[in-house]
Structure 1
């Protein structure tokens, strides 16, 4: 146990290393699913918040004996909780009008809290929180996909040439079959061997007749510039 207002180098190294480990575990899960804030971002947030908490608790020891000095180790930590919102907002804006960025923003916010907990020496709480975060991101995500199928929502992925108006053409084809688009996410792809740029468009659709999906896919394939359309098992692979 460390004494109040004192900490040795070993405990500093332990807490910073644990911050890298726990933040990296959560970041790795985000990286696997190609989210904008991945492995390195989560490590940096966890590591930075841990160091800030260490500074808050132990960094001002020399000034404690000064007159008229009031010490509150939670003040700097509170700024981390508020400031992490800017980083989280950036991940949401990166995804446009989809809600996928909200989960990544929330994971960054939780990782900051984990880092603060480690910095304060609250190891058990930090480890348990990391476990529940991984359960939420990995296990509950599959449950969410099951709920989507139960609601007759269908996800398709369209790889199309990067040209203005292509998303509108896809939406027009869907509108002709009275299919509602619940969410859209657009991701950049690299150029092919002919230096043609492509984008990947992920769409979540609410269909009145799920059996008509193959016909919808055929309609989209007729659009000029569409390279590939995936759905069902091919989308999960």
Structure 2
């Protein structure tokens, strides 16, 4: 077992929140018949939360004087955002002058933000982002 500043039960809560909140975003896409639905959103959020928690573990190790662990936490967030942006861009398709998938790409990116918020333990922020994203995606869809 490894030592971490985040107890295993707290890790489970954070990961479960990331997956559960992303499930809501993915469900909206799934119900609209989009290619990136439940599993895609849940995996993006889960991965983002896991990467952030790994970064926090390394950061805590650095704080305890382990010279092999040097980290700038903002670089982890930067890497996660870039990787998720790549996935989101992959969901955007242009065909005969018609562009599709922009909302799905944005929702994948937002699922990553939810995962990052859960990973750092800010579940209130994650919940607010999810709620606002659902309002935008489902509520404003007809407009």
Whether TM exceeds 0.5 here: the answer is: yes
The answer as to 2:34 corresponding to 1:7 is no
Which of the two has greater helix per residue?
2
What's 2:88 paired with?
A: 88
Question: Are residues 57 and 101 of structure 1, via their aligned partners in 2, closer, same or farther at CA, if it must alter by over 3 Å?
Answer: same
State the alpha-carbon separation in 2 of the partners of residues 98 and 48 from structure 1.
31
Taking structure 2 as the reference length, the TM-score comes to 0.88
Post-superposition Cα deviations, 1:45-82, rounded to whole Å, max 9, x if no partner, equal: 00000000101112454454134864322211210111
State the alpha-carbon separation in 2 of the partners of residues 69 and 57 from structure 1.
11
Q: Is the 8 A contact 2:41 2:111 kept in 1?
A: yes
What's 1:161 paired with?
A: none
Q: Is the 8 A contact 1:45 1:112 kept in 2?
A: yes
What's 2:55 paired with?
A: 56
Question: Are residues 117 and 73 of structure 1, via their aligned partners in 2, closer, same or farther at CA, if it must alter by over 3 Å?
Answer: same
Where does 1:52-131 land on structure 2 (aligned, <5 Å)? 52-64=51-63, 65-67=65-67, 70-93=70-93, 96=95, 97-131=97-131
Secondary structure of 1:99's aligned partner: strand
Q: Is the 8 A contact 2:58 2:70 kept in 1?
A: no
Taking structure 1 as the reference length, the TM-score comes to 0.54
Specify which structure has the bigger relative contact order, considering alpha-carbon pairs within 8 angstroms and separated by 6 or more residues.
2
- Gaps of at least 5 residues in structure 2 are none
State the alpha-carbon separation in 2 of the partners of residues 119 and 18 from structure 1.
9
Question: Are residues 67 and 47 of structure 1, via their aligned partners in 2, closer, same or farther at CA, if it must alter by over 3 Å?
Answer: closer
Count of residues paired in the alignment: 138
Where does 1:204-223 land on structure 2 (aligned, <5 Å)? none
- Gaps of at least 5 residues in structure 1 are 145-237
Question: Are residues 129 and 139 of structure 1, via their aligned partners in 2, closer, same or farther at CA, if it must alter by over 3 Å?
Answer: same
Secondary structure of 2:71's aligned partner: coil
Give the drift of 1:100.
3.0
Which of the two has greater strand per residue?
1
